[in-house]
Structure 1
């Protein structure tokens, strides 16, 4: 008789009840579909009316009926919070009034179109961030979402539909979802609804039918939606069994890791890692290795976007400094007990032959305790890499190579003068010393050029018979070959030493700033002098000014900042500071809350 190892449904129900009873925040329910027109808003309103009949306090924060009478009819009898007017570019636009909804604080709020981008001037750039604030306030939320707007599925949808998806929702929202309800119809039925004008109206319907709304594309999107829903159910089941004390075999044993750099390939690798990890129900992390390389402004912006994407997708971000990327990745993988390492398919370079193979070759050693998943770059990512190569060619600097050629030529001239005194054997040592010195100042490519050029000059002009590359004596052949290898290796090592010195210097500068900062805080007696010293010391690192708004005994913010900065005097900036203080979260510039502010506000807690 077969043993039944399936979890007890009663135990699962108890686990669900226990989770809901102890949940400190509101519960999120997403009505999910393959595309517009499947009936997500209709299903959401129908479910909300049923909850209202059960006695639940239901309020509409924002619902888009798109002119559909049957959808509008379902809103009758449900309280609607009036939308907030925002003036943008001399036009009055309407958005959900988040503050009014928080003040009303219903048991359940309906917020349509989760991936919507808010009008500039709103508290949050995205509507899903409004929903998160509602959840944090203890309000349950019903919302709608299409599969194309899931961040990790964005690239797949773009490849399927031939479109550009501009509005996305981070995958972390799915992990916070209490219920993901799939609203599903067949592609044929959806196309019929499009013809009847139940999806789009007029010219927009014609454009949709001619482009995105094709049966093969809708079928592929439907498969994506079904697969993601199944993955979500499987992930929730794992969590329930773990919460209910079920079998240990259900707990995830996998841990994925992906390397992130300024390469455009990193975006696709991060999305793929997130998809694989979600399917396995496993945690994942992204590692950035700082090699000390100087990046252009464009590369720094790309790196920042890739790191931000990791955070949006819910991954753990790890940063480390090392001149050797494979060594750093192996160390992190060993420390974090990684079981699967996701990498892109490498391109072969001459440098890989010298350093013992590509990054993939060095990671795939027999002693590795992890599996390696090698992914082919997506076509769009490959095009971005090709464009980057063209930009690199345009930015190519001949200065290091010109310096290498000049130094080798100068040493060759000196050797021609000293040849009768030191002999042709010693000439090679002078060339070797010049290559080593160049390695401390120029790039790896310039060092390689110097090694090749000096070997050829030594052979042609100094080793008998001179004036030809032919070498008569076998020992001279061995000497030239040994010289070339030695010059290349020592030049490479010198280049690595220079890179490592740059890393050490950066660390020393940061440490020195922190030391000076600590000393300044001890020396200065009052708050104003301390904050002024803090601003002066950190300005070179943060490229900006610093100020402090102190709180009173009753935890209210004082009316003015310590240094009385002009940019803190406006009502708008003070409102941002108050929000950060009250919610205990950062707000303002470069955050998800009121990013149009002039400053970033960080709440400090004792």
Structure 2
């Protein structure tokens, strides 16, 4: 056997899908062509074998339909109790999802996958209950008949003549881990039915007459076999991709399906779904809207939205595009998406339309090179008839209004013309009727314009063309003029109607754009997440006139952060739906497949970073219009991005604070490692010398070493004291005393202390004789002065350091001035920052950079302020000036 090519690697997407399957439970579907083939019987037979092997398998729900051999197989298997629900005044039993989740077996059998749940339940469909069990890691066995697949429901209705009420999306079967076909020849199934092994005798006779006929069962059997074969092929392809085995890969077919706001589009989507399933191909459903088209009716927009939702349920990708040329836009998308086949609907137009209008199918066939085109006709499209009737009712309502406006406008024009003709005979009285046609078009559209043109022609003939009072025309040229008038009126009315419709469309779009613009401006000015949330709920309430709530994740759950009106409250059911929308990343609540009994509909706020939160709006059986739906989607997208932006802004500030803290921490460690190491090294060296050579050293040398130890020990004590003072300042625990302080005494004490520590430095003092007392803490003030003298000693060069104290108006001013190099203007604003250090001329940076920061903290704690000035005198030096308020005279007494 040849070695495998090392460059041929497993498909990453296939491996990720395999890893996802390992985390979830397994779904096994027993698929049959019709009821009675033995799906439940096969499940229970297999369950009995696993029970004997010690596997934990339980019965969640099994419907025996009175079949004794099926009921006998339940013996020995654990059956979970069902939940009682009240429906239409009757007590019924349903599958208990919560009980199954609490029991958490390894395998659970839940029969009838396509069943619709009754009563107050979490999910309206049983397949959604099963999906929750699978997400919880529980393996599920279930049964399904082929006619319940959504894409096949219309085909089954045509084959059997019976509409299929219970339907599930095709994706449910596609996601199944195992599909086991339970097959039985049609003749044998009919025999079982006659023997009463499928239904009771009365029901069996009706079923034989309607559904269980040889032709129907044969067709359903073929559908089941084909769908099972497709599923097996998908599993083989998955295996080949996961193991990097070269094999019979899919052919790469890709379908482009064109739909519109008409009932035929639903049939087009279902046909395309079956075609895509048979070809194992990806497919895209696209709706093209003309940029200058008249606004679609509410019924048409709703029909289009329902068609696109159906396509998504069947596994398609949906698009909405706008353009001026339908064929060109479809071809662009087909080339961009590498479509190999195009599926469109084709109506059987009447003869006049076929003569003067080219169909979309013909236009595509003429311009599409190398792409197959499938036409889906509306023949026998029974499902569309009720919708067509609804459309006719809507059209009839609009026609009545248009006809009323046309009659009214023509009546006014006739009355005005008769009045003018009595006093002032005119040859161009027909212009009044042209005005009536334009008015009708402007107010009621094209239908009103046509009606007004026809009525105007009749009224003009009856009232103004000889012989007056009859519909006959005496002169031939009047006939020609009448037809010209009628054509001109229709053309003018059509143009006016088109302008009106375009203006209506423009106003609607402008209103939506303005609403989005206003909302985006609000969001751009909202820096905090709270501002974003309140702006969003206020916008939704104002735009859609509905209560709105926004929930964000908090402590492992979702909590209401904003609501408008503010007194809006959510029930337990509402909160459950909101959690579902957040966790499952799909809509929940009213008019959805999850907890539809909630009056609110909840939608996840999807952002590039994941789910930012959940938005809920009051629906209560009143769905949004299609235009409102699109506007809401845009608002939710902007809200999600704004919430993400606010979160990222907050995180960036936190990150900046952490980085600043890291910088201070690094500076502190660097300072400590340098400034503590130097005195410790000096002390250690002196102690070692004294221990080893002390007896042989002179008394003067020993005194110098002991003095060094003392000086460096004092230096260490100052470092530690500075660190403790800085800690107190940062913690805000400095409690400055408010005693009477003689500033002159404090200055003298600080100078004497500095002369002791810096004996080679000259300190000059100048104190005003009328210096008043101040309210403050003498110890803190002395520490501040010493820190300033220490700083001046290190950076002031060899010149004397001057200390001045005087009274200036209502303040006591104390300054310390040195004549060193001074501080550069760029550094002047940072000298009081923590860990800021100015290097000596030799490049070293003495100290930890805390002295001036501590001085500022102490001064402010005593109610004063401090300022640095440089240069101080003759373009040299630095002056540190402190200002303290003078205490009131009464307070001094």
After superposition, the C-alpha distances for 1:275-328 in whole angstroms (9 at most, x for unaligned) are 1221222222333456553535x6665455434322322222323456886676
Aligned to 1:3: none
The one of 295, 298, 303 equivalent to 1:293 is 295
Aligned to 1:544: 546
Distance 1:493 1:321, change over 3 A: farther
Q: d(CA) in 2 for partners of 1:481 and 1:327? A: 38
Distance 1:343 1:111, change over 3 A: same
Cα deviation for residue 581 of structure 1 reads 3.9
Q: Which moved more, 1:380-389 or 1:16-25?
A: 16-25
After superposition, the C-alpha distances for 1:506-536 in whole angstroms (9 at most, x for unaligned) are 2222222223223344567876665444333
Q: d(CA) in 2 for partners of 1:485 and 1:315? A: 47
Give the secondary structure class of the aligned counterpart of 1:218: helix
Q: Which moved more, 1:399-408 or 1:340-349?
A: 399-408
Aligned to 2:268: 269
Q: Which moved more, 1:29-38 or 1:49-58?
A: 49-58
After superposition, the C-alpha distances for 1:36-94 in whole angstroms (9 at most, x for unaligned) are 11001112233344555677543332222333343234344444433333344554433
Q: d(CA) in 1 for partners of 2:237 and 2:430? A: 67
After superposition, where does 1:432-581 map in structure 2 within 5 Å?
439-450=441-452, 468=473, 488=490, 491-521=493-523, 531-552=533-554, 554-558=555-559, 568-581=569-582
Aligned to 1:366: 366
Aligned to 1:138: 137
Distance 1:125 1:469, change over 3 A: farther
Give the secondary structure class of the aligned counterpart of 2:367: coil
Cα deviation for residue 582 of structure 1 reads 4.3
Q: d(CA) in 2 for partners of 1:508 and 1:329? A: 27
Work out whether residues 531 and 563 of structure 1, in 8 Å CA contact, stay in contact via their aligned partners in 2. no
Aligned to 2:309: 308
Work out whether residues 439 and 492 of structure 1, in 8 Å CA contact, stay in contact via their aligned partners in 2. yes
Work out whether residues 114 and 167 of structure 2, in 8 Å CA contact, stay in contact via their aligned partners in 1. yes
Q: d(CA) in 2 for partners of 1:157 and 1:254? A: 26
Work out whether residues 364 and 372 of structure 1, in 8 Å CA contact, stay in contact via their aligned partners in 2. no
Q: How many residues align?
A: 587
Q: d(CA) in 2 for partners of 1:214 and 1:129? A: 32
After superposition, the C-alpha distances for 1:204-257 in whole angstroms (9 at most, x for unaligned) are 334323432233332232233233333444455556566646469733223130
Work out whether residues 256 and 285 of structure 1, in 8 Å CA contact, stay in contact via their aligned partners in 2. yes
Structure 1, gaps ≥5 residues long: 1-10
Aligned to 2:149: 150
After superposition, the C-alpha distances for 1:8-56 in whole angstroms (9 at most, x for unaligned) are xxx99x9999964553533322111111110011122333445556775
Aligned to 2:203: 204
Aligned to 2:250: 250
TM-score normalised to structure 2 length: 0.56
The one of 378, 388, 400 equivalent to 1:376 is 378
Work out whether residues 31 and 180 of structure 1, in 8 Å CA contact, stay in contact via their aligned partners in 2. yes
Work out whether residues 61 and 95 of structure 2, in 8 Å CA contact, stay in contact via their aligned partners in 1. yes
Cα deviation for residue 122 of structure 1 reads 1.3
After superposition, the C-alpha distances for 1:529-577 in whole angstroms (9 at most, x for unaligned) are 654443332125444211133443x333448866686663533333333
The one of 335, 342, 345 equivalent to 1:343 is 345
Q: d(CA) in 2 for partners of 1:197 and 1:468? A: 80
Distance 1:569 1:224, change over 3 A: closer
Q: d(CA) in 1 for partners of 2:433 and 2:273? A: 51
Work out whether residues 537 and 550 of structure 2, in 8 Å CA contact, stay in contact via their aligned partners in 1. no
Cα deviation for residue 104 of structure 1 reads 4.0
Cα deviation for residue 480 of structure 1 reads 8.6
Give the secondary structure class of the aligned counterpart of 1:548: strand
Cα deviation for residue 123 of structure 1 reads 0.9
Distance 1:449 1:229, change over 3 A: same
Aligned to 2:319: 318
Aligned to 1:83: 82
Work out whether residues 33 and 184 of structure 1, in 8 Å CA contact, stay in contact via their aligned partners in 2. yes
TM-score normalised to structure 1 length: 0.80
Query: What value does the CA root-mean-square deviation take over the aligned residues?
Result: 4.5
Cα deviation for residue 343 of structure 1 reads 0.4
Aligned to 1:117: 116
Q: d(CA) in 1 for partners of 2:50 and 2:425? A: 97
- Residues 1:63 and 2:65 are matched in the alignment: no
Q: d(CA) in 2 for partners of 1:439 and 1:15? A: 57
Aligned to 1:5: none
Structure 2, gaps ≥5 residues long: 1-8, 606-610, 613-893
After superposition, the C-alpha distances for 1:338-358 in whole angstroms (9 at most, x for unaligned) are 4312203243497x589x626
Q: Which moved more, 1:572-581 or 1:430-439?
A: 430-439
Give the secondary structure class of the aligned counterpart of 2:366: coil
Work out whether residues 149 and 168 of structure 1, in 8 Å CA contact, stay in contact via their aligned partners in 2. yes
**Which of 1 and 2 has higher RCO (CA within 8 Å, sep 6+)?**
1
